[in-house]
Structure 1
Amino acid sequence: MTRKHLHIAVGIIRNEKGEVFITRRVGDSHLAGLWEFPGGKIEAGESPEQGLRRELMEETGIQVQQSELLCSLDHHFDDRTVTLYFYLVEHWQGTPFGREGQPERWVHQHALNAGEFPEPNKPVIELLNNA
């Protein structure tokens, strides 16, 4: 059986106070109930950065002005493999909010709790906690 392989662009939206914007996965979505950095699937023909810009506009209503690739990693779930591209976003237009009605909050990067996030986010949270 061939596993589905998804490419995901993820935005770590960080303000000048060192707080990071996170949202909670809702309903019957994969990993529902966990907190996450906003983002989503990169579409055919998009670069990871283009996917990031589109996804953050769709999910949070912001226009990314500048982003920096923090890291990328592969993670294997039982039914799929994902390649995640984590971008640090410190310059944007607009005020981020959960455009899809998902719960949201700002958390200082040193207060992020890896236990509240999907497994693939844990190395990035450790990086942010130790920065």
Structure 2
Amino acid sequence: MPNTAANKQIHVAVGVIYNSQGQILIARRHDDAHQGGLWEFPGGKVEQGETVCDALARELREELGIVVTPSSCTALLEIRHDYTDKVVLLDVWAVSGFEGEPIGKEGQPLRWVKPSTLREYEFPAANVAIIDVIQSA
């Protein structure tokens, strides 16, 4: 059976990044990206041979210009979500420490938001469970 986009699984490391005021960083996806125009928690694909923490640290350095502080990542949850064109496995981690000031190095808008306001932003369907966990903590 050929591998199609519909059955391809993508493993993604996702960071719920907290600042010292307890706000969470969200980023807006580019309009031409998958789920474009929606807000997301930063992160990216886990490459072959990488641990999830290594992938998350690399992605946050590449996308936001921040360096994750060692031992500041805590596993939150895993989500498997089947979109019509791909299946994603989201490995979600809370990030409580980093060095540097986040900037959208790929031109993506960023916002620090209170956890209680996350539902005011439109996220991909797979992110709803992340918001549920954040708001129930």
- TM-score (ref. length: structure 1): 0.94
Give the distance between the partners of 2:20 and 2:76, measured in 1 at CA.
Answer: 17
Question: Contact 1:114/1:121 (CA < 8 Å) preserved in 2?
Answer: no
Give the distance between the partners of 1:69 and 1:92, measured in 2 at CA.
Answer: 16
Give the distance between the partners of 1:8 and 1:129, measured in 2 at CA.
Answer: 22
Which sections of structure 2, spanning at least 5 residues, go unmatched?
none
**Pairing of 1:36-47 with structure 2 (within 5 A):** 36-47=40-51
Deviation at 1:111, TM superposition (A): 1.0
* 1:127 and 2:133 matched: yes
Aligned twin of 2:22: 18
Poorly superposed stretches of 4+, deviation over 2 Å: none
Question: Contact 2:39/2:121 (CA < 8 Å) preserved in 1?
Answer: no
RMSD, aligned CA? 1.3
* 1:82 and 2:84 matched: no
Q: Determine which structure has the larger strand proportion and give its number.
A: 1
* 1:108 and 2:114 matched: yes
Aligned twin of 2:78: 72
* 1:6 and 2:16 matched: no
Give the distance between the partners of 1:91 and 1:72, measured in 2 at CA.
Answer: 21
SS of residue paired to 1:124: helix
Which sections of structure 1, spanning at least 5 residues, go unmatched?
none
Deviations 1:91-129 (A, max 9, x none): 111111111111111000111017610011101101112
Give the distance between the partners of 1:50 and 1:11, measured in 2 at CA.
Answer: 12
- TM-score (ref. length: structure 2): 0.90
SS of residue paired to 1:112: helix
Deviation at 1:26, TM superposition (A): 0.7
